[in-house]
Amino acid sequence: MRMKFAPAGFLIFSLLFGLPVVAGNFGFVTAAQAAVNGVVIQGSQRVDRETILSYLQFKPSQAASAQQIDASIKALFETGLFSDVKIDRQGGNIVIKVVENPMINVVNFEGNDEIDDSTL
């Protein structure tokens, strides 16, 4: 009795896990490549939204592949503005979470008696 159900189980397994591979090979758009409805940026305090969007390797209205998202993360890191960048998909939106690098607020000069601090 068990042998009769093995082909049916294999067929169900193949359909469930083989379909995304087959769909990808025939040009069907998968959920991971669906068009982006919007871009949400979280954590940015000093860097403008437009600056972050300019480093993305895809347009907000286009489909975003995993390679484009990875390239976008690398491009944002290379700016030197961020200590952490994460890009996730939530429904039709791309969510970009950034942690900005700290900024220098004060520079103190010590040991200089010849030139006043305001000149330096």
The CATH number given to whatever domain includes residue 63 is: 3.10.20.310
Indicate whether 50 and 96 sit together in one domain: yes
**In this structure, are residues 36 and 63 in contact, taking their beta carbons and an 8 Å threshold?**
yes
Task: Record the tokens describing residue 107, joined without a space.
Answer: 């520079």
Q: What pLDDT is stored for residue 9 in this prediction?
A: 56
The per-residue pLDDT for range 12-55, each reduced to its tens digit, is 555 555 544 444 444 444 555 567 888 999 999 999 999 999 99
Is the model's pLDDT at 80 over the cut of 60? yes
Q: Is 104 exposed, middle or buried (0-12, 13-18, 19+ CB in 10 A)?
A: exposed
Q: Is 90 exposed, middle or buried (0-12, 13-18, 19+ CB in 10 A)?
A: exposed
Specify if 120 maps to a domain.
Answer: no
Q: Which residue has the higher pLDDT, 14 or 72?
A: 72
Q: What pLDDT is stored for residue 13 in this prediction?
A: 53
Q: Is the dihedral of CA 48, 52, 54, 58 positive or negative?
A: negative
Indicate whether 41 and 92 sit together in one domain: yes
Indicate whether 40 and 10 sit together in one domain: no
Specify if 16 maps to a domain.
Answer: yes
For 72, the domain range is 34-103
Specify if 61 maps to a domain.
Answer: yes
Indicate whether 49 and 76 sit together in one domain: yes
Indicate whether 53 and 93 sit together in one domain: yes
Indicate whether 10 and 66 sit together in one domain: no
The per-residue pLDDT for range 95-120, each reduced to its tens digit, is 999 999 988 777 777 887 788 777 76
